[in-house]
């Protein structure tokens, strides 16, 4: 693999090999990351990247689009089938772009919007003051209940009725519990607001029916394609027929120019993979693996936010062990465990320090790891946190991880020297 690159640009070739090796040698527990298939990677690395195709299949602003039209139409049809949606727009370059287009399709700038507070599990594009969403709209954030650390339907209803927003965005980046989209959608619509769900994290679970389905209850649903969905890095919008025209218009020409046709082809491949029955088994493994992590960690001196998980992710309050998220992230990385520091609800630390770490099971589940490995890995995490980041414990865990990963080889073809 990569033989041209090795000759033309040895520095980039080297950086890529180092990264592939890092992915192989470390335990990837970042909840938003995954390992996409070789078929998806192949579709992404094709001359489809050369093609300008502003517009939509059958209605483009450039000639020569007949074959990329096939790819985009397949991606649209498969996304609609996968999510049981009236319409799909597969052009967003990212989840943020998808959210921006969705906001503009549903509301005008300046109106009231409610989204989950970033520091309580939300996302930048759900109303953070440093993001377009916080700049363009009057944001009223909702949060979690202080006791349960979960969204409380009564508190949520009271706030929606008090604020009377024009739009409420549901969804999260660091919320371990499932979302009752039916009940939340009813509250939002009863207050005369529009409902948008960002399912970037849980899209794979939603697709196979292992998380409550937002599509029937929301006006628009956005997602990324690379988290639990295990596709290429990118975005996706699903909507009801009535919003199709404005969603498409806001995506192009409203927010983007030429779509990334190689990525759209790769999205089509990922959706095809997700329609296969094996994908449901994979999503089930993600949940089983997260549950075993929860049980193992709870049996130790580890505090889980919201008491545990219904999804692929867990949020650990490392302040319970006298640590900051920053310290824990760095120490776990030294042991070859990759996680990210994360704010926890009502966090006293700054966002660059935090009191929490977020972990998730999609990537290791893709690698073939099952509950037995999760039990071991959660035990190692607990060992390190409980030891207060003792270097000898970190060293010993790292040694065992370097052995474990060899039983679950990742991207073996990519790691072979080009001459072999």
Binding residues for ligand DSN, per CB under 6 A? 32, 95, 123, 173
Q: Which of 198, 248, 310, 373 is catalytic?
A: 198
CA distance 229 to 248: 22
Nearer to ligand DSN, 33 or 386 (CB): 33
Active site residue 147: no
Nearest-angstrom CA–CA distance, 67 and 49:
13
Residue 303's DSSP bridge partners are 317
Q: Which of 36, 125, 222, 224 is catalytic?
A: 224
201 vs 262 by CB, closer to ligand DSN? 201
Q: Of the listed 51, 60, 78, 227, which one is catalytic?
A: 227
CB-nearer residue toward ligand DSN: 55 or 143: 143
- Is 225 strand, coil or helix? coil
Asked whether the bond before 253 is cis by omega within 30 degrees of 0, the reply is yes
Please, what is the minimum distance in Å from the beta carbon of residue 312 to ligand DSN? 11
Please name the residue that has the structure tokens 């024009």: 166
Q: Are 361 and 288 in contact (CB under 8 A)?
A: no
Name residue 55's beta-bridge partners: 60
Query: Of the residues 6, 80, 157, 233, which is catalytic?
Result: 233
Task: Name the residue with the smallest CB distance to ligand DSN.
Answer: 32
Q: Is 311 an active-site residue?
A: no
C-beta of residue 114 within 8 angstroms of C-beta of residue 165: yes
Shorter beta-carbon distance to ligand DSN: residue 55 or 345: 345
Q: Shortest approach of ligand DSN to residue 315 CB, angstroms?
A: 12
Q: Answer yes or no: 227 catalytic.
A: yes
- State the Cα torsion 101-105-110-111 to the nearest 10°: -130
Task: Give catalytic status of residue 51 as yes or no.
Answer: no
3-class secondary structure, 419? coil
CB of 143 to ligand DSN, least distance (A): 18
Instruction: For the CB of residue 375, give the shortest distance to ligand DSN in the complex, in Å.
Output: 25
Instruction: Please say which residue, 95 or 176, places its beta carbon nearer to ligand DSN.
Output: 95
CB of 67 to ligand DSN, least distance (A): 32
Task: Return the closest-CA partner of residue 337 out of 303, 304, 293, 300.
Answer: 293
Catalytic residues: 52, 54, 198, 224, 227, 233
């Amino acid at each position: 693999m990569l033989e041209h690159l090795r000759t033309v640009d040895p520095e980039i070739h080297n950086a890529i090999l180092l990264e592939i090796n890092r992915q192989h040698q470390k335990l990837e527990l970042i909840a938003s990351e995954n390992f996409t298939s070789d078929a998806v990677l192949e579709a992404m690395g094709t001359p489809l990247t050369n093609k300008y195709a502003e517009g939509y299949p059958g209605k483009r602003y450039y000639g020569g689009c007949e074959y990329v039209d096939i790819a985009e139409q397949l991606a649209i049809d498969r996304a609609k089938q996968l999510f049981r949606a009236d319409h799909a727009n597969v052009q967003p370059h990212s989840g943020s772009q998808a959210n921006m287009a969705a906001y503009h399709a549903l509301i005008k700038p300046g109106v009231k919007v409610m989204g989950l507070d970033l520091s309580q599990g939300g996302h930048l594009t759900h109303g953070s003051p440093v993001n377009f969403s916080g700049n363009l709209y009057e944001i009223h954030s909702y949060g979690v209940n202080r006791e349960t650390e979960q969204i409380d339907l009564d508190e949520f209803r009271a706030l929606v009725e008090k604020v009377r927003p024009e739009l409420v965005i549901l969804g999260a980046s660091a919320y371990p519990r499932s979302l009752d989209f039916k009940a939340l959608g009813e509250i939002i619509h009863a207050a005369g607001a529009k409902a948008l769900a960002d399912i970037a994290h849980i899209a794979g679970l939603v697709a196979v029916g292992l998380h409550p389905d937002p599509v029937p209850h929301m006006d628009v649903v956005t997602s990324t394609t690379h988290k639990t969905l295990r596709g290429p890095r990118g975005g996706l919008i699903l909507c009801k027929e009535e919003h199709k025209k404005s969603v498409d218009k806001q995506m192009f020409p409203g927010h983007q120019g030429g779509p990334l046709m190689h990525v759209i082809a790769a999205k089509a491949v990922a959706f095809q993979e997700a329609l296969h029955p094996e994908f449901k088994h994979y999503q089930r493994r993600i949940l089983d693996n997260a549950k075993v992590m929860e049980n193992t960690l709870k049996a130790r001196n580890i505090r889980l936010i919201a008491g545990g998980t219904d999804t692929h992710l867990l949020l650990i309050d490392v302040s319970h062990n006298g640590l900051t998220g920053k310290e824990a992230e760095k120490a776990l990385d030294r042991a070859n465990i990759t996680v990210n520091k994360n704010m926890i609800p009502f966090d006293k630390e700054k966002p660059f320090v935090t009191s929490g770490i977020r972990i998730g099971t999609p990537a290791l589940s893709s690698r073939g790891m099952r509950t037995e490995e999760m039990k071991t890995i959660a035990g190692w995490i607990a060992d390190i946190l409980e030891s207060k980041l003792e270097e000898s414990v970190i060293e010993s865990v790292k040694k065992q991880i370097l052995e474990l990963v060899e039983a679950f080889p990742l991207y073996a073809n990519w790691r072979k020297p080009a001459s072999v």
